[in-house]
Amino acid sequence: MTNKKKKDIRSYDLPRLTDYFSTIGAKPFHAKQLYNWLWVKGCSSFDAMTNLSTEVRQILNKQFSIEKAIPYQTVSSKDGTIKVQFRFHDEVMAEGVLIPSGKRMTACISSQAGCALGCKFCATGDLGFIRNLSNAEIIDQVHHLNALAEKHYEHHLTNIVFMGMGEPLLNYDAVVEAVNIITDPSIIGMSPKRITISTVGITQAIEKLADDLPTVKLAISLHSADNDLRNYLIPVNKKYDLHQLTEALQRYHRKTGNRISIEYLLLNNINDTRNDAELLTEWTKSFPVKINLIPYNPVPGKNFTTSSNIDDFKSRLENKNLVVNVRVSRGNDINAACGQLINRNKK
Q: Which long-range contacts (CB under 8 A, 24 or more apart) does 179-183 make?
A: 179/213, 179/216, 181/39, 181/135, 181/139, 182/139, 182/142
- Binding range to ligand SAH, per CB under 6 A, among 82-90, 132-140, 146-154, 294-302: 294-302
Residue 209 to residue 221: CA distance in whole angstroms: 16
How open is the CA angle 257-261-267, to the nearest 5 degrees?
Answer: 155
Q: Which of 167, 263, 272, 276 is the binder for ligand SF4 (CB under 6 A)?
A: 167
Q: Which helix (H) or strand (E) holds 285?
A: none
Q: Which does 297 bind (CB under 5 to 8 A by kind): ligand SF4, ligand SAH, none?
A: ligand SAH
Please, are residues 257 and 250 in contact by the beta-carbon 8 Å criterion? no
Cβ proximity to ligand SF4: between 65 and 124 the closer is 124
Q: Which of 122, 161, 218, 322 is the binder for ligand SF4 (CB under 6 A)?
A: 122
- Binding range to ligand SAH, per CB under 6 A, among 38-46, 47-55, 174-182, 192-200: 192-200
Cβ proximity to ligand SAH: between 60 and 248 the closer is 248
222 near ligand SF4, judged by CB under 6 A: no
Q: Is 119 a catalytic residue?
A: no
200 near ligand SAH, judged by CB under 6 A: yes
Binding track, positions 72-111, relative to ligand SAH; x by CB under 6 A: ----------------------------------------
Residue 90 to residue 325: CA distance in whole angstroms: 40
Q: Which helix (H) or strand (E) holds 311?
A: helix 310-318
Which of 108, 115, 122, 338 is catalytic? The answer is: 338
With a CB cutoff of 8 Å and minimum separation 6, the contacts of 5 are none
119 near ligand SF4, judged by CB under 6 A: yes
- Binding range to ligand SAH, per CB under 6 A, among 17-25, 129-137, 275-283, 295-303: 295-303
299 near ligand SF4, judged by CB under 6 A: no
Binding track, positions 251-270, relative to ligand SAH; x by CB under 6 A: ------------x-x-----
Nearest-CA neighbor of 252 among 194, 202, 211?
A: 211
Q: Is 95 a catalytic residue?
A: yes
- Binding range to ligand SAH, per CB under 6 A, among 15-23, 91-99, 139-147, 193-201: 193-201
Please, are residues 192 and 216 in contact by the beta-carbon 8 Å criterion? yes
Please, are residues 347 and 306 in contact by the beta-carbon 8 Å criterion? no
Q: What's the sign of the alpha-carbon dihedral 204, 131, 129, 176?
A: positive
39 near ligand SAH, judged by CB under 6 A: no
Q: Which of 160, 338, 342, 343 is the binder for ligand SAH (CB under 6 A)?
A: 338
267 near ligand SF4, judged by CB under 6 A: no
Chain position whose Cβ is nearest to ligand SAH: 339
Q: Which helix (H) or strand (E) holds 246?
A: helix 242-256
Q: Characterise 188 by phi-psi region: left (phi > 0), alpha (psi -120 to 50), beta (else).
A: alpha
Helices (H), 135-241: 135-153, 172-183, 203-212, 227-233
Q: Which of 124, 141, 224, 271 is the binder for ligand SF4 (CB under 6 A)?
A: 124
> In terms of residues, how long is the chain?
347
Residue 258 to residue 308: CA distance in whole angstroms: 32
297 near ligand SF4, judged by CB under 6 A: no
Contacting positions for ligand SF4 (CB under 6 A): 115, 117-119, 122, 124-125, 166-167, 200, 221
The residues annotated as belonging to the active site are: 95, 338
Contacting positions for ligand SAH (CB under 6 A): 121-122, 163, 167, 198-200, 221, 263, 265, 294, 296-297, 299, 338-339
